[in-house]
Chains A and B, each alone.
Chain A
Amino acid sequence: MQVKVKINGKEYQDDVEPRMLLVHFIREKARLTGTHIGCDTGNCGACTVLFNGRTIKSCLMLAVQANGAEIMTIEGLSTNGLHPIQDAFLEKFGFQCGYCTSGMILSAYVLLQSNPQPTDHEIREALEGNLCMCTGYQQIVESISYAATKMKEAGK
């Protein structure tokens, strides 16, 4: 089946099997490998992308269901340097192995759009769908909190 999807502002069109998962389309057809696969069942959040502005688990959607959609992956977050959230994850050590990081940052991005000054509790709640096996989450929470402060200061 023909699928046409806009990912990070660029259009991708391909003939795919109806059973192809969106995450495989993103990784293998669009070759955007910052979106990862960790569990295959929608639990871990490593495959989190923005689908028409909302976060989804791209392992739970078929590529054909994304026909006509606008998707943003981690590669689309900042084309010029680091987004403040990315910078915050470096500044506050919000990652270790980096495998969950793309999903974590995109979940944080969506959170900070709707709630620019979240409490630690709200940050933790917002990360319900993202597993990190390395950090124990504390430095991730600190990173997002730091990013919120920096973004407020910068008026972003």
Chain B
Amino acid sequence: MMDFDKLFVTRDWFGKPVRRNEDVKFVKGEATYVDDIDMNCAHVAFLRSIFAHARLKKIDTSRAEALKGVLAVITGPEVAEVTKPLPARAITRPARQYVMATGKVRYQGEPIAAVVAEDRYIAEDALELIDVEYEPLQPVMRIEDALKPDAPLLFEEAGSNTLLDDTMEHGDYEKACREADMVLKETFRVHRYSSTPLENWAIIARHDKGTDSFTVWANDQQPGRSMTTVCGTLQIPTHNLRLIVPESGGGFGIKLAIWPYIVILCLLSRKVDKPIKWIQTRREHLLGGTHAPDGIVEIEMPVKKDGTFLGLSVKDYQNDGSFIHTAGIYGLIKFATMVGQYTIKATRMEVLSIATNKGPTVQNRGVGKPTMTFALERMVDIAAKKLGIDPAEIRFRNFVKPEQMPYTTPSGEIYESGDYPECLRKGLALGEYDQCKKQQAELRKQGRYIGVGISTGVEPGTSNLGYYYTSSGVPEYMGSGEGAIVGVDYDGNINVMIGSVDTGQGHATVIGQVISDMLGITPDRVRVDNTLDSFISPYIGHSGCYSNKFNDVDLGAVIKATEKVRARIFTLAAHMLKADVSNLKLGDGHVHVTNDSGKKVSFKDIAALAYKKITLLPEGMEPGLKEIAYYRNPYAKLPNKQNFNVQLTHSNSCHVVTVEVDIETGFVKFLKYVIIHDCGNQINPAIVEGMAIGSTVHGLGATFLEEFVYDDNGQLLTTTFMDYLKPVAATVPHFEMGHHYSPCPTSLLGSKSAGEGGAIGSLAAVANAVEDALSPFDVKVTSLPLTPEKVVKAIKETKVI
């Protein structure tokens, strides 16, 4: 963390809920998302597999091509001929797959062919005219079925549906079991869901015949990596792709997997003389664009009678569906913070990535941590009940203490800062834990069932890429970083570009706050262009909006570039004012001479020297007043299975929830929902609050409503928002927020991740509250979602949800 007295000239903006005035366009309907770009495009529609698992015997596109208004058609086999197969990041078994189905289809909705036509209506008509001959195969949907010795194989070349099976062991787990008074065992199941950004995937591609190059506009969340994956797949040099990312209507990880469609659009654009556009429909999005995997978590926890957790063993089965690019990632991320906030000394984790005929999976908000936290925090409550210790007390007994910070977990993850006991104390106070417990006893006498649930969770950020290679070899990407360009323009105002993109986090406002305090100006003088343009923007392989890296490396790059600009401003001002740099200071958009009141020069005049009156520049100084800087988090360890930090910052939160369960209907009502969040220094508290609450509602959707339901034939039954239910304003509680501030010593601003916490902690908190409410009925919660039907059935018959 930097010395703020040296970093900042003023403290007027940092840490304040500054209005997002840069984003007035959003409230006026004037933002430009991909679909809003007017380029007289032709339109693309995809023919998608009607089967979950089938061989493709024949595709005949001749009738479609003959339709008036159809400009071109492309099929999977044609795509496969000119592209490389998908690169697999985490799996270790060989599996060959292309961006479009060829030979066989592996999920309902997998693209088989694409049509480009004068408009979308004609393109959709043409899909009806493509004749496909399928040979249906037995679909494999559930993990248990995929693991059977005679199970049909998704990828014959892999020889198994288990594409990754890796075990990581740290500390002496066997010893922990020997020393334990008991070893608790449980199996948890978490279903498939997604954060479903409101704007679906959107791409425009334009081919330039003269150079055989492409310009693509896409709402891609990770353009730095997409540049190399798209170009690698197309087998073109990266300078032949110009990728532009304009406004994006939400991401949550789900827009990290757009790149296969960019490849297809590029190939199609070669066939026509105008730009082409594909706007994903919601049905397409829900079918395969994309999901968080469903999974089974088998947990063992050796504990002492006094409640001490001695070890943790997890066997994690991940139903990764049929997208080998990101298969296996979830388990490895779960592993990173599997001990949660506890001083568990010995861990073992077996990570299995299972291929099935469900849709593709990609990093959804929290990436595995919601499932891991659900399983761990449920286990903690189960231990508390078994040992007769209060759920809050057992957590206090096992927490990493603030004096132990920075704390290194058995596998090498470093928790830089945090006060877990204090956060829980605040949570219990604000959540009126003791009063709720008292009330619970009284209400039960009246036949009302309320329950209180606690969950504490670690919210890591800034992925140290390469973690998946701790399982599979040499990393292509390591660490985390970002780039930024900061310049003073003609008028003395500040222009900024960064390599990252914004999916709704108010990056422009936050960057404006930091730069304003660094240069002694007001945010209205800072203009940030969030558009990424790979020909102009300072992007690197890590560039993008994911893993909560903005507050750390993105702002790190902005700070470093601003420091360079500031140094140049001082040099030029010293020349103009004929003063020594050490006697200068910034304020009100001017450089002042400290010991000569009234002597000053404005940024505008400095800019005039730098850009216009360049003959007057000091000897040897280059014109211009714009600087580029790249920044990486310096604490990333090298990939090493025995000692590695998968994430580079660690926020934490605690949720304390009181619910009432209607035992007749199974409906769960919130009586109180408290979130205590510690993400270190908050740069814009109102933005942080929005993300903490928003991510919590993602978790509540997953806990109660959202589920991708497949039938035995592999048909997805939830393909609209009428079946795949999302939370609405009337069904979510009012959240009471509390904060704690443990500055992060390893980020420049003392800030930590803020975008995923609620999605991580909420599932467990609610599940614990529901189980507590139903304790008179001995109901145990081991799975999600907690639908009314399941709740009622558990009360009356099964005793297990």
Contacts and interface: CB of A to CB of B under 8 A. Distances in A.
Contact of B248 (A35, A97, A124, A135): A97
Contacts of A53: none
B157 interface: no
Interface string B717-746: 000111000111110101100000000000
A138 B722 CA distance: 23
A73 B29 contact: yes
A96 B696 contact: no
B29 A102 contact: yes
B501 to A, nearest CB: 11
A137 B734 CA distance: 9
A38 interface: yes
Contact of A137 (B24, B29, B686, B732): B732
B198 A90 contact: no
Nearest to A123: B729
Contacts of B28: 34, 74-75, 78, 82, 86
B400 interface: no
B305 interface: no
B19 interface: yes
Contacts of B32: 33
Interface stretch (B4-12, B572-580, B687-695): B687-695
Interface in A1-50: 17, 19-20, 27, 31-41, 43-44, 46
B438 interface: no
Contact of A90 (B20, B248, B727, B730): B20
B282 A138 contact: no
Interface residues of A, number: 57
A148 interface: no
Interface size bucket, B side?
35 or more
A41 B694 contact: no
B505 interface: yes
Nearest to B731: A124
A118 to B, nearest CB: 12
B613 to A, nearest CB: 38
Interface stretch (B33-41, B295-303, B332-340, B631-639): B33-41
Contacts of B506: 96
B27 A90 contact: yes
Contacts of A135: 690, 693-694, 697
A95 interface: yes
Contact of A139 (B38, B250, B693): B693
Specify which of A33, A98, A138, A139 lies most central, judged by the most chain B CB atoms within 10 Å of its CB: A98
Contact of B690 (A41, A75, A128, A134): A134
A100 B29 CA distance: 10
A23 to B, nearest CB: 11
A40 B36 CA distance: 17
Contacts of B35: 27, 33, 37
B250 A43 contact: no
A100 B20 contact: no
A36 B33 contact: yes
Contacts of B537: none
B77 interface: no
Q: Give chain A's interface secondary structure class.
A: loop
Interface string A114-151: 00000011011101101111111111110000000000
Nearest to A88: B27
B36 A33 contact: yes
B187 interface: no
A136 B249 contact: no
A89 B720 CA distance: 28
A31 B199 CA distance: 18
Contacts of A141: 729
Nearest to A100: B198
A36 B249 contact: yes
Contact of A41 (B17, B282, B504, B698): B282
Contacts of B546: none
Contacts of B20: 90, 93
A6 B17 CA distance: 40
B21 interface: yes
Nearest to B38: A31
B197 interface: yes
B23 interface: yes
Contacts of A128: 728-730
B281 A40 contact: yes
A93 B722 CA distance: 28
B252 interface: yes
B535 interface: no
Contacts of A33: 29, 32-33, 35-36
A120 B729 CA distance: 10
B581 interface: no
Contacts of A40: 281-283, 720
A58 interface: no
Given A97-B504, A136-B732, A74 B29 contact: yes
Interface of B: 17, 19-21, 23-33, 35-36, 38, 121, 195-200, 247-252, 279, 281-283, 503-506, 686-687, 689-691, 693-698, 720-722, 726-730, 732, 734-735, 758
A-B pairs, top 3 by smallest CB distance, nearest first, are A34-B29, A98-B26, A97-B504
16 contacts: A19-B121, A36-B249, A37-B279, A38-B200, A39-B720, A43-B720, A44-B198, A97-B198, A97-B249, A99-B33, A99-B250, A100-B198, A130-B728, A133-B197, A134-B694, A136-B690
Interface of A: 17, 19-20, 27, 31-41, 43-44, 46, 73-75, 78, 82, 86-87, 89-91, 93, 95-102, 105, 120-121, 123-125, 127-128, 130-141
Given A38-B198, A82-B28, A90-B27, 13 more contacts: A19-B121, A33-B36, A34-B28, A34-B29, A96-B506, A98-B25, A124-B728, A130-B728, A133-B252, A134-B198, A136-B693, A136-B698, A139-B690
